[in-house]
Amino acid sequence: MLRGAMLDNPIGPADQRSQQRMREVLEFLETGNAWLDEMHKLPPATVLKMLKMGAKIQGLLKPGGKSANEGSKETSETTEQSDQAKALAQIDMFGR
């Protein structure tokens, strides 16, 4: 449906902005879908490790290399517990 809407010719500035936003959403969805396909190929233990890393992965991508949770032991423990619960839910969702 989204791809079909992208084929329409924009009539005015509002349509052009809408199509730009649809392109961005489509790119986001396709990127997420490709990432999920890659996650399906990994062993469950590897997926769990990645999910446990949580915000630490963000730190690798940010300038300066520090994660949002760095320096707070309580936040880190809470995040780790939350990440474990999410990981188990995701693994169940993947049918593993």
**67 Cβ contact list (under 8 Å, min separation 6):** 55, 56, 57, 58, 59
Tell me: do 82 and 94 sit in the same domain: yes
Tell me: do 4 and 36 sit in the same domain: yes
Tell me: do 51 and 70 sit in the same domain: yes
Residue 7 structural domain: 1-41
Tell me: do 82 and 49 sit in the same domain: yes
Q: Provide the domain count of the chain.
A: 2
53 vs 86, residue with greater confidence: 53
26-74 pLDDT, tens digit each: 999 999 999 999 999 999 999 888 888 887 877 777 776 554 445 545 4
Tell me: do 14 and 25 sit in the same domain: yes
Tell me: do 8 and 19 sit in the same domain: yes
Question: CA 20, CA 87: separation in Å to the nearest integer?
Answer: 34
Tell me: do 62 and 21 sit in the same domain: no
Tell me: do 22 and 69 sit in the same domain: no
3 state DSSP class of 63: coil
Tell me: do 53 and 91 sit in the same domain: yes
Tell me: do 13 and 34 sit in the same domain: yes
Place of tokens 């188990």: 88
Question: CA 81, CA 75: separation in Å to the nearest integer?
Answer: 10
Q: What is the mean predicted confidence (pLDDT) over 76-87?
A: 64
pLDDT at 96: 44
**39-42 contact pairs (CB < 8 A, 24+):** 39/94, 40/94
pLDDT at 32: 94
